[in-house]
């Protein structure tokens, strides 16, 4: 029990330190962007006096260190501040678009895992069969096509020709079925690419483990083939699979930006583009902060899953 608490505390402390470093890096990196919110809001017609007035109102005339300390203090209180360009609370803007990005990311992970893991297992158990060749061909094709290109290819038959799904938009954020309907093609665009990686990874992991000594020993003891596979092979294959799921979750959050642009969806991608265009530091750093927090939570959960899959891992982490 004490060892488990120590492991949990170490992982939590490391996550908090990583978050502080990442948040600080985001804050200072955004200040290197040429221009500021005053320039973007008023344009070239603004007088020097008007620009200086806006900078004072936004706190941009303060030293960067003072801005940083103020930002960290607000963050510790859970206050993300007001958007410099829109004038609304950033937390409100984030909650408005979060469902649209979440349905794409979660949907892509479900589709990618639901296709890739069973297909990879089938290909490994029937090595060099027709199923194996088809799986390898499809996975290789999926590896070379970016998600936003897949999105365009899906739009043509299913949205333009058949009209089964909407071409653009995100649906009603308060209606789950509307979100699911509008998010089906974007989630497929991200999920099919993930399925290609997952298929190859699962196949390779299962094939490697099937030739291990402990698997041959289990067979020699008279265990059934299904027992050997599910208890010994698949359980150990879950370690690299879980690792990839954690990594691809973070990647998919970034890829969702391009997919949202293709489908003209509201989401974090649109906020990021708007924040860059308008030099909206408050909005940008808050959106990026959400990405950092999600990435850290995912990595933290992956660490805990490692221990659940194989408790021996805790001793070496």
Query: Are 143 and 260 part of one and the same domain?
Result: yes
Q: For the chain of 317 residues, list the mean pLDDT of each consecutive stretch of 10.
A: 64 82 82 60 56 63 80 81 78 88 91 91 86 86 81 88 86 88 91 89 86 76 76 80 85 83 84 76 80 83 74 53
At 89 the three-state DSSP class reads: strand
Distance CA 217, CA 240 (A): 23
pLDDT at 250: 82
pLDDT at 315: 47
Query: Are 94 and 63 part of one and the same domain?
Result: no
Query: Are 277 and 255 part of one and the same domain?
Result: yes
Query: Are 63 and 137 part of one and the same domain?
Result: no
Residue 194 · residue 248 · CB < 8 Å: yes
Query: Are 249 and 127 part of one and the same domain?
Result: yes
Query: Are 59 and 172 part of one and the same domain?
Result: no
Query: Are 37 and 117 part of one and the same domain?
Result: no
Q: Which of 76, 98, 126 is the last residue of a domain?
A: 76
Query: Are 268 and 134 part of one and the same domain?
Result: yes
* Cα torsion through 138, 139, 145, 146, rounded to 10: 140
Query: Are 94 and 69 part of one and the same domain?
Result: no
* 64-76 and 2-30 helices, crossing angle to 10°: 140
Q: What residue has token string 């043509």? A: 156
Distance CA 259, CA 240 (A): 27
Q: What is the pLDDT of residues 217-268, one digit of tens each?
A: 877 777 777 777 777 787 788 888 888 888 888 888 878 888 888 888 888 8
Q: How far is CA 198 from the centre of its chain?
A: 16
User: Closest Cα to residue 89, out of 294, 279, 253, 280?
Assistant: 280
* Cα torsion through 36, 41, 42, 48, rounded to 10: -30
Q: Which of 45, 76, 107 is the last residue of a domain?
A: 76
Q: Is residue 84, in this structure, part of any structural domain at all?
A: no
pLDDT at 129: 87
Domain that holds residue 165: 90-316
Neighbouring C-alpha atoms within 13 Å toward the C-beta of 103: 25
- The string over 266-299, giving b where at least 16 C-beta atoms fall within 10 Å of a residue's C-beta and e elsewhere, is bbbbbbbebbeebbbbbbbbbbbbbbbebbbebb
pLDDT at 281: 73
Q: Which of 76, 111, 129 is the last residue of a domain?
A: 76
How many residues are listed for the chain in this entry?
A: 317
Check which CATH number belongs to the domain holding 285 and give it. 1.10.3720.10
Query: Are 72 and 163 part of one and the same domain?
Result: no
DSSP 36-72: -HHHHHHGGG--HHHHHHHHHHHTTTS-HHHHHHHHH
Query: Are 266 and 127 part of one and the same domain?
Result: yes
Query: Are 99 and 29 part of one and the same domain?
Result: no
Q: What is the pLDDT of residues 272-283, one digit of tens each?
A: 877 777 777 778
Q: Is residue 2, in this structure, part of any structural domain at all?
A: no
Distance CA 12, CA 66 (A): 28
pLDDT at 287: 83
User: Closest Cα to residue 99, out of 266, 308, 235?
Assistant: 266
Q: Is residue 37, in this structure, part of any structural domain at all?
A: yes
Distance CA 159, CA 156 (A): 6
- Total count of domains within the chain: 2
Residue 84 · residue 71 · CB < 8 Å: no
């Amino acid at each position: 029990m004490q060892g488990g608490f120590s492991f949990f505390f170490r992982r939590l402390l490391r996550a908090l330190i990583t978050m502080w470093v990442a948040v600080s890096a985001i804050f200072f990196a955004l200040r290197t962007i040429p221009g500021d919110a005053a320039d973007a809001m008023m344009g070239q017609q603004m007088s020097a006096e008007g620009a200086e007035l806006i900078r004072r109102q936004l706190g941009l005339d303060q030293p960067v260190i003072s801005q940083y300390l103020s930002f960290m203090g607000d963050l510790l209180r859970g206050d993300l501040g007001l958007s410099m360009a829109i004038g609304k609370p950033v937390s409100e803007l984030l909650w408005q678009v979060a469902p649209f990005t979440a349905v794409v990311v979660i949907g892509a992970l479900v589709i990618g895992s639901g296709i890739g893991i069973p297909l990879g297992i089938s290909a490994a158990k029937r090595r060099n069969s027709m199923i194996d060749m088809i799986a390898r061909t499809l996975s290789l094709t999926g590896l070379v096509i970016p998600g936003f290109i897949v999105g365009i290819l899906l739009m043509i038959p299913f949205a333009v020709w058949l009209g089964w799904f909407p071409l653009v938009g995100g649906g009603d954020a308060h209606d789950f079925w509307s979100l699911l309907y509008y998010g089906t093609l974007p989630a497929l665009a991200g999920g099919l690419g993930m399925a290609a990686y997952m298929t190859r990874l699962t196949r390779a992991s299962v094939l490697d483990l099937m030739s291990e000594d402990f698997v041959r020993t289990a067979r020699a003891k008279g265990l059934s083939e299904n027992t050997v596979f599910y208890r010994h092979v698949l359980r150990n294959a879950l370690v690299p699979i879980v690792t990839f799921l954690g990594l691809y979750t973070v990647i998919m959050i970034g890829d969702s930006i391009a997919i949202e642009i293709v489908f003209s969806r509201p989401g974090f991608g649109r906020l990021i583009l708007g924040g860059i265009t308008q030099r909206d530091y408050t909005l940008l750093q808050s959106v990026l902060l959400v990405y950092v927090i999600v990435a850290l939570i995912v990595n933290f959960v992956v660490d805990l899953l490692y221990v659940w899959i194989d408790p021996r891992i805790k001793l070496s982490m």
